[in-house]
Amino acid sequence: MLKNEKYSLILRVSLPECTSFKISGKKNRKNMIRKYPRYITILFIVSLLFTGACSEYDKLLKSDDIELKYKAALEYYQQEKYTKAATLIEDVLPRYKGTTKSEELDYLHAKSYYEMGDYVMASHYFQTFVQTYVASEHADEADFFMGYCYYKLSPRPELDQSNTYNAINAFMLHKTKFPDSEYNSKCDSLITVLNDKLAEKSYLAAKLYFNMEQYKAAVVALGNSLEDFPETSFREELMFLRLKARYLYAQHSVHDKQPERYQDTIDEYYTFIDEFPKSKFGREAEKIYTSSTDFLTKK
């Protein structure tokens, strides 16, 4: 804001604490005000606005007027001030338990945490809501968002996929509990995305055995990955790696075991080329086949 590097203007905002401004520099404050009257005026007005807002919210927190807090919580939620809304809801909820307002407050409480991006707490509150208000008009949505929170918590494929499984299970259960839900098509598409992530994790784990030159284990792991995720986008590469792993396993085997394992390699080649006749790995697969047949012919 100020071009002169001799001055620093620090705006400190700490909610729900009141806002303060600190002006420091080598010249005195009077010179600052004379030199930058426009900036000082704007900052003063902003400071007053923040201070007023802080004071109003602080008074609400200290107030014993539950109805006032309830109305303020709804207003803050509508204004997308979810942290303040959640704080006030938590303050008044115990007083409204068992009343007609309890359901609304519990629902907005969960939604506030979701909007804040706190998906761990949001999933918990959505789950509690669904269990408490089975017949609620919000039950369908809350149940979907419980699963969606797990979806948001699902990490990249290399990491632990507990939340991925949680999300898939939640979406599948949602479709069972709410067969006519408007969210079911979304559940299906998200389940596909999550399964793709699990397939990628399986692919990476199987490929790791191959890269570590543990070819026997790689053959098993690659086969398991193909069996668990037959529709995976990595299918072509997985099948080629299994072919190559069989070939390298045969190469590194003791002489007596090589004929059988080269034959397994040839069988694997036919399986691969039958499914992917125009594979990008075709040339290398052909070399593996030729080398394997040459070995058995010489034998």
CB 253 within 8 A of CB 269: no
CB 153 within 8 A of CB 191: no
Of 11, 37, 62, which residue is a domain's last?
Answer: 62
Asked if the structure places residue 257 within a domain, the reply is yes
CB 215 within 8 A of CB 249: yes
Specify the range with the lowest mean pLDDT, choosing from 37-41, 76-80, 160-164, 240-244: 37-41
Locus of tokens 């190469």: 251
Q: What is the pLDDT of residue 7?
A: 37
Q: For residue range 165-189, list pLDDT tens digits in order.
A: 999 999 999 999 999 999 999 999 9
Q: What is the DSSP letter of 16?
A: S
Whether the pTM exceeds 0.85: the reply is no
Of 62, 93, 111, which residue is a domain's last?
Answer: 62
Asked if the structure places residue 259 within a domain, the reply is yes
Number of domains in the chain: 2
pLDDT at 28 over 80: no
CA distance readout (Å), 114 to 152, 198, 240, 253: 10, 25, 43, 56
CA distance readout (Å), 290 to 237, 247, 262, 269, 282: 20, 11, 11, 10, 12
Specify the range with the lowest mean pLDDT, choosing from 32-46, 130-144, 189-203: 32-46
Q: How confident is the model at residue 55 (pLDDT cuts 50, 70, 90)?
A: confident
Asked if the structure places residue 6 within a domain, the reply is yes
Q: How many CB atoms lie within 10 A of CB 77?
A: 20
Range ranked top by mean pLDDT from 36-45, 61-70, 218-227: 218-227
Q: Which two tokens stand for residue 203?
A: 């692919």
Residues 6+ apart with CB under 8 A from 195: 168, 229
Asked if the structure places residue 151 within a domain, the reply is no
Helix residue ranges, H only, 133-214: 139-153, 162-177, 184-211
Q: For residue range 229-280, list pLDDT tens digits in order.
A: 999 999 999 999 999 999 999 999 999 999 999 999 999 999 999 999 999 9
CA 163 to the chain's CA centroid: 9
* Percent above pLDDT 70 for the chain: 82
pLDDT at 46 over 60: no
Asked if the structure places residue 130 within a domain, the reply is no
Locus of tokens 């207003």: 75
CB 164 within 8 A of CB 194: yes
Q: For residue range 10-21, list pLDDT tens digits in order.
A: 333 334 444 444
Specify the range with the lowest mean pLDDT, choosing from 57-61, 240-244, 279-283: 57-61
Of 62, 77, 97, which residue is a domain's last?
Answer: 62
Asked if the structure places residue 43 within a domain, the reply is yes
Asked if the structure places residue 173 within a domain, the reply is no
**For residue 262, which of 250, 254, 273 has the smallest C-alpha distance?**
250
Asked if the structure places residue 273 within a domain, the reply is yes
Residues 6+ apart with CB under 8 A from 16: 54, 57, 58, 61, 84
| Domain range enclosing 257 | 234-298
